[in-house]
């Protein structure tokens, strides 16, 4: 599983994506002393064995979003929920699953990518009694 975490993090950091809005050099938001890192990519970027170990569907029509929550340089357990909307405002719920490994906690979810289009993501991260929201747009492409 450690290999899985390393590969997912590497994939998230190395995947270049075209965004509808300006992509920050690092996909992260800071809320007080909590930093939320996030990224999304097509599931075909994952090696088959890594996708299988993470229980992810590897398909040209499936995207993956990866979220991690950090406080004081350490992983923080939280509750992550969200939606992804297309240009017609049809919304798909993101069903995040927590993955815990030695020294890492992250949340992954999959969503359909049927065609090239700009999608709007809304991610809610609850830590304790605080709920923080991240909104971003990203142009997505079906894989090959």
Q: In this structure, what CATH number is given to the domain that contains residue 128?
A: 2.60.40.3340
Give every CB contact of residue 105 below 8 A, 6+ residues apart in sequence: 68, 69, 75, 76, 77, 98, 99
- The first and second tokens of residue 133, run together, are 């929201």
Cα dihedral sign, 93-60-1-7: negative
Q: What is the pTM of this model?
A: 0.80
Instruction: Please give the tally of structural domains in the chain.
Output: 1
Q: Per-residue pLDDT tens, the chain, 144 aa: give them.
A: 555 544 454 444 444 333 334 445 578 999 999 999 999 999 999 999 989 988 999 999 999 999 999 999 999 999 999 999 998 889 999 999 999 888 899 999 999 998 999 999 999 999 989 999 999 999 998 876
**Burial of residue 77 (number of CB atoms within 10 Å: 0-12, 13-18, 19+):** exposed
**The pLDDT of residue 101:** 84
Three-state DSSP at 53 gives: helix
Q: Hey, what are 10's tokens?
A: 């590497």
Which among 104, 144, 11, 29 is positioned nearest to 65, based on CA atoms? 11
Residue numbers of the domain that contains 91: 2-140
């Amino acid at each position: 599983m450690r290999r899985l975490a390393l590969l997912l993090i590497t994939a998230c950091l190395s995947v270049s994506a075209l965004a509808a809005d300006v992509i920050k050099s690092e996909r992260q938001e800071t809320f007080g002393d909590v930093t939320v890192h996030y990224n999304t990519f097509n599931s075909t970027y994952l090696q088959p064995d890594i996708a299988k170990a993470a229980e992810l569907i590897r398909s040209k029509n499936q995207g993956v979003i990866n979220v991690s929550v950090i406080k004081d340089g350490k992983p923080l357990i939280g509750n992550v929920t969200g939606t992804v909307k297309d240009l017609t405002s049809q919304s798909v719920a993101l069903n995040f699953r927590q993955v815990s490994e030695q020294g890492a906690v992250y949340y992954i979810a999959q969503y359909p990518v049927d065609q090239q289009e700009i999608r709007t993501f809304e991610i809610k991260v609850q830590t304790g009694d605080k709920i923080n929201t991240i909104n971003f747009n990203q142009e997505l492409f079906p894989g090959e």
